[in-house]
Amino acid sequence: SQTIHQWPATLVQPVGSPLSLECTVEGTSNPNLYWYRQAAGRGLQLLFYSVGIGQISSEVPQNLSASRPQDRQFILSSKKLLLSDSGFYLCAWFSLGGWTEAFFGQGTRLTVV
């Protein structure tokens, strides 16, 4: 079965510092991978998705970027964090068409201070 590993679980970073969150998938090949964020008091906002190595689609303009260096690896990055980047970040795998349930990482709680 599919498993998603996401780390770190919690992170406190100063404003202006860089960010790197990593997500790796086991149990499937060529997965569709997604990064979501929950800001305080809001739902899950789609940030990026990737259908394959080097293929990244950005949903909203922001201070973040994503990369897919390997088939089962999806990385969320920032060169300089803003206070507004604080939130809970989730990596997810969905099957194409969404006909089966999604699998999620454990999430990362990011606090920018």
Partner 1 sequence: ILNVEQSPQSLHVQEGDSTNFTCSFPSSNFYALHWYRWETAKSPEALFVMTLNGDEKKKGRISATLNTKEGYSYLYIKGSQPEDSATYLCASWALETGNQFYFGTGTSLTVIP
Could you list the residues that contact partner 1 (CB under 8 A)? 32, 34, 36, 42-46, 49, 51, 57, 59, 88, 90, 92, 94, 96-102, 104-107, 109
Q: What is the DSSP letter of 70?
A: E
Closer CB to partner 1, 53 or 80, in the complex: 53
Q: Which helix (H) or strand (E) holds 101?
A: none
Indicate the burial class of 24 (C-beta count within 10 angstroms; 0-12, 13-18, 19 or more).
middle
In the complex, least distance from residue 56 CB atom to partner 1, rounded to whole angstroms: 12
In the complex, least distance from residue 38 CB atom to partner 1, rounded to whole angstroms: 9
